[in-house]
Amino acid sequence: VNLPLIMVTTASVQPSNDHKIKHKNSTKEISSLIVVDVQNCFINGNLALIDSSAKQDGADVVPIINHLLQTVSFDVIIYTHDWHPTDHISFYQNLNKRRQYLLGDQNKNYSLFDTVTYKGPLVQTEQVLWPLHCIQDTNGAKLHKDLIVESKSNVFHVRKGLNSDVDSYSAFWDNNKQQKTDLDSILRRWNVTHVYVTGLATDYCVAATALDAIDLSYTTYLVEDACRGVSLETIDKKKQEMKQRGITFVQSSQVKALV
């Protein structure tokens, strides 16, 4: 299935918060579930989380997210997609073509998952050398087949990592914080105040998305059991950072009472 990219470009769908105001007199919280990168590559592809050091299975988030989708009435639902061109900067396989940009010894040997510093072509940036993953229009980039994805006016898809020369862990900004996706403008258009972040991978795209959400002044929840990550060390480090920055950790069973 080719996912339709539903972008708000016309005035045909006007979000209404009336139902919220009627049913919840005390608050005008508008909620969004953000489902980060629940794509085949992170489940059984070249970057399968189960093959990484934390040995977590990305597929485990699917029933948990589905249950949230079926039991909680979020005002807006966002699915993010890591969506890379083949010559993307994040691929280890493209290192040789980018050696001229390496900071330091340009002949040095690097391995998969090493971190390098590229001093260009855009700006100086640290980059983990990932295996090929989530290449545009491939099966690996598709959302997991069991994930519930409805086509409704309040459901949006956000693609990231399309620019060959910069990675994008966050679904809001590229890693250089130079270009924004549509995510913030979609959430603002719908007056979203509270976001619930789920998906893959806890220590990379989930953390980066949650940290940008709180930076952008959304009340931000990490739904802890609805995420899986790459390495225990970075999961721990990023969770501490998220807590310090004011993100609230909740379990999926607690979300219904909050929304």
- Write out the residues near ligand VGL by the rule CB under 6 A: 37, 42, 82, 90, 130, 200-201, 204-205
Pick the catalytic residue: 37, 75, 167, 182? Answer: 37
Read off φ and ψ for residue 139, nearest 5 degrees.
-60, -35
Q: Which does 77 bind (CB under 5 to 8 A by kind): Zn ion, ligand VGL, none?
A: none
CA distance 246 to 220: 8
Pick the catalytic residue: 41, 134, 205, 227? Answer: 205
Q: H/E/C letters for each residue in 139-192?
A: HHHCECCCCCCCCCCCEEEEEECCCCCCCCCCCCECCCCCCECCHHHHHHHCCC
| Shortest distance in whole angstroms from residue 161 CB to Zn ion | 5
Q: Which does 37 bind (CB under 5 to 8 A by kind): ligand VGL, Zn ion, none?
A: ligand VGL
| Span interacting with Zn ion, options 79-87, 121-129, 183-191, 214-222, rule CB under 5 A | 79-87
Q: Is beta strand 125-128 parallel, antiparallel or unpaired with respect to 115-118?
A: antiparallel
CA distance 53 to 146: 25
| In contact, 68 and 62? CB cutoff 8 Å | no
Verify whether residue 18 is a known catalytic residue. no
Verify whether residue 87 is a known catalytic residue. no
Q: Which is nearer to ligand VGL, 81 or 194 (CB)?
A: 81
| Shortest distance in whole angstroms from residue 25 CB to ligand VGL | 39
CA distance 50 to 165: 28
Pick the catalytic residue: 142, 160, 238, 239? Answer: 160
CB atoms within 10 A of CB 170: 26
Verify whether residue 165 is a known catalytic residue. no
Residue in 75, 82, 174, 212 binding Zn ion, rule: CB under 5 A: 82
Q: Which is nearer to ligand VGL, 128 or 149 (CB)?
A: 128
Q: Which is nearer to ligand VGL, 37 or 165 (CB)?
A: 37
174 binds Zn ion (CB under 5 A): no
Single-letter amino acid code for the residue at 197: V
Beta-sheet strand order (sheet of 76-82)? 155-160, 76-82, 31-36, 194-200, 219-228, 248-250
Q: Which is nearer to ligand VGL, 101 or 204 (CB)?
A: 204
Q: Which residues are catalytic?
A: 37, 160, 205
